[in-house]
Structure 1
């Protein structure tokens, strides 16, 4: 049993002002593994004050100085990757192989992307009209991150703040504090000045809201549900601070008959179930050309039944449990909704897999004969649940793909280069994945519509943490 009862403020681990605590649970066993202290408004005030004071000097550092610090952080990140992987497996149930290859790797991959972006960036340039444009750090940044990809989102927010000369206060998910504490230790070991980075544990309504409303916070960067993102935006409105949001998704996956069906369908299902379906950009709506629909159902049924579910500490390509009981209950409710709506359960269904009754495991589930009007086709389920919808023409497929409140990602499977280019250009989403290809570290990540605003990663991720200043050339 571990106890996390300190916050990282002004370069030191300090006692919180509040006395409230909460249990930290292991989702694989539904057992308590620790106790976490929760902060309040006073803790936020102390962290923001430290960040504001540090900004006075850190904002004046040169790009070379900031690059040196980032490279020291990179060395520390590489050294502590296994610590991060073990923490993530413990606190949110990601299988250890996946934690190592994907979850913890983000600490290194995103940092390399930001270092490359900063090295090639120009913080001062002359515009075509002769005016001088400067890019300057925005100020104190409030950062709120989720539990499903804890280090991925911490890296995408903390690193650009540090890279641009801004300072920050991080409120990670209170449900995944182990990896967040390790990251704070990493920043400290890298040698960042006191107050540049601060960490306060707490819940959204208390610490998150206090951070969003704080008059000395210049920017809020939030990742989480669309509902919570709206609340952050409202809290931030009175002080007219910048708000960037990375929110939910219900990503379409268009499968055309001219693709390699056996490979593309099986890999699409594995992508949907990755991280137990707890990814905002998961391809959860498979839209299938009618001429190959029956064949796709056969392949999908075989792939879905083959998807292993198992204990997170075991090495392998299985998926683990859902994050907690609230998530489990939500997924079970929406599976029941799909059944009630008349969708065909092709694989899985209600309940837990046999032999995994203690943790929050669910059966990987595939629904067939779904229409895009059903709730299971429109709501983000956030579990290993796939819906399959037929379409007749390319135009209809594109219309169905775009018929969603979200626009984070879209997937496309085709054997035609011309079709790939034609369809991709019409999909209303921030990231397009064609035939299993993903964008690399350093590319911008973000979405259209209710999937948020702003972009994270690389050069465009840096720009969200900068202000633009323009002036005419000086004449004496």
Structure 2
């Protein structure tokens, strides 16, 4: 069993000054794989003070210098790509096909941001004024466990490009992958103090990060509940914030959608990352006249899904990350049954054939009451709620009847019709006739209680900027 007992501060691996720890288990086998030591507030304070001091010099580096750093990080990560993939599968249980694609995209972000940096519009000037974009300063980053490497890269790359420094609190449940990532950063010889990483819990070290006066901005990815607490903490010092929060994304099948072709994509979206994805299409809206056909097709296609060892290429659904998340999903399924939703398939207990591992049965409820807990709250597991509608006006009303507004999916044989419908959905992102977009760096973020700000390519850089006007 591996021991992780250090932070990364000022370019050095420093032992954690605490005996408090937790044990990580392989979610597929429930075998213990690592012991993780948890930091104290004083260690977070040390990292923040280091980042603040480093910003003074790093903010003055040239664009060419920062482009070279981004290239070095990319090149080092590429050398260890397979290790990063294996560790993510081991400690999180994400399927290897999903992890391989996500890892490649995450590493490539350093080249994407490097290209953006070449032509980034730092200065605009006219006869009487000069407008200048500057790095915001010290950025505190708090990231979840469901896409660790992607979130590390999507914050570090734009921050470095702008000359900012970072203090990062990753999820303690991704400690093995984070450790491998930090070893790559260290080998890439990034300037000391630019990236500092503190291992610990949100309640202890995360609180310090969001309240500290030397932290200029917070980038948080996680639940809406935690996001509200961070919003409150940041208000004390008026920190800049980027919050990418929860979702309860609708998938709308318009009357003319080709159901045979669409249902596999519906399930791909709903059960993305084994349902542990903020953008998962977990509400399926279907015309009442097509409900029976949709139910039949869902059953046919769900029975084809391969649940099992995430290391195997054919696996499409893996386990929940840990016992806590498994129990959370079970409580939602229990709630749906008790509240009278029709259970089409799945239900309580482990998936069939598994004595070990946090495998949830892929579950589908038919819901005629959109106020149910399972319809309104983010479950973060493989649970799909099907809601029938009478007409498109009602479909739009149901789609928007949520506190969330992160993603949506619209399927129709008429793309113009789908686009017209999409324009009225109150979400930060809408995918038309696909569950996965090939767009390179679209802005990502939510409306309503799904967050503040946008990330992705140039938008990530904009999020980490302050704008200064100089007048003549």
Query: How far 1:364 moved relative to its partner?
Result: 0.4
- Please name the residue that 1:6 is paired with: 6
Q: How does 1:81-160 map to 2 (within 5 A)?
A: 81-102=81-102, 104-126=103-125, 130-160=128-158
Question: Please, what TM-score do these two structures have when normalized by structure 1?
Answer: 0.96
Does structure 1 retain, via aligned residues, the 8 Å contact 2:27–2:91?
yes
Greater shift after overlay, 440-449 or 402-411?
Answer: 440-449
Does structure 2 retain, via aligned residues, the 8 Å contact 1:110–1:441?
no
Deviation digits for residues 292-332 of structure 1 (CA, Å, limit 9, x no counterpart): 22211111111122222101222224211001111111111
Unaligned 5+ residue runs, structure 1? Answer: none
SS at match of 1:24: strand
Q: How does 1:337-356 map to 2 (within 5 A)?
A: 337-356=335-354
Deviation digits for residues 384-440 of structure 1 (CA, Å, limit 9, x no counterpart): 010100111111111110110000001100111221121111010011111115253
Tell me: CA distance 1:28–1:460, structure 2 relative to 1, closer, same or farther (3 Å): same
Deviation digits for residues 216-269 of structure 1 (CA, Å, limit 9, x no counterpart): 111111111111111112222212211211110000000013122111112111
Does structure 1 retain, via aligned residues, the 8 Å contact 2:165–2:194?
yes
Unaligned 5+ residue runs, structure 2? Answer: none
Distance 1:106 1:140 in 2: 26
Distance 2:128 2:188 in 1: 40
- Please name the residue that 2:272 is paired with: 274
Distance 1:372 1:249 in 2: 15
Distance 1:378 1:285 in 2: 9
Tell me: CA distance 1:107–1:459, structure 2 relative to 1, closer, same or farther (3 Å): same
Question: Please, what TM-score do these two structures have when normalized by structure 2?
Answer: 0.97
1:415 lines up with 2:394 in the alignment: no
Q: CA RMSD in A?
A: 1.4
Q: How does 1:266-345 map to 2 (within 5 A)?
A: 266-345=264-343
Runs of 4+ with >6 A deviation: none
Does structure 2 retain, via aligned residues, the 8 Å contact 1:137–1:465?
yes
- Please name the residue that 2:467 is paired with: 468
Distance 2:263 2:369 in 1: 19
Tell me: CA distance 1:208–1:156, structure 2 relative to 1, closer, same or farther (3 Å): same
1:184 lines up with 2:177 in the alignment: no
- Please name the residue that 2:205 is paired with: 207
Q: How does 1:161-200 map to 2 (within 5 A)?
A: 161-200=159-198
- Please name the residue that 1:77 is paired with: 77
Distance 2:147 2:369 in 1: 30
1:430 lines up with 2:425 in the alignment: no
Does structure 2 retain, via aligned residues, the 8 Å contact 1:113–1:457?
no
Deviation digits for residues 59-98 of structure 1 (CA, Å, limit 9, x no counterpart): 0111121111111211122222211111111111112222
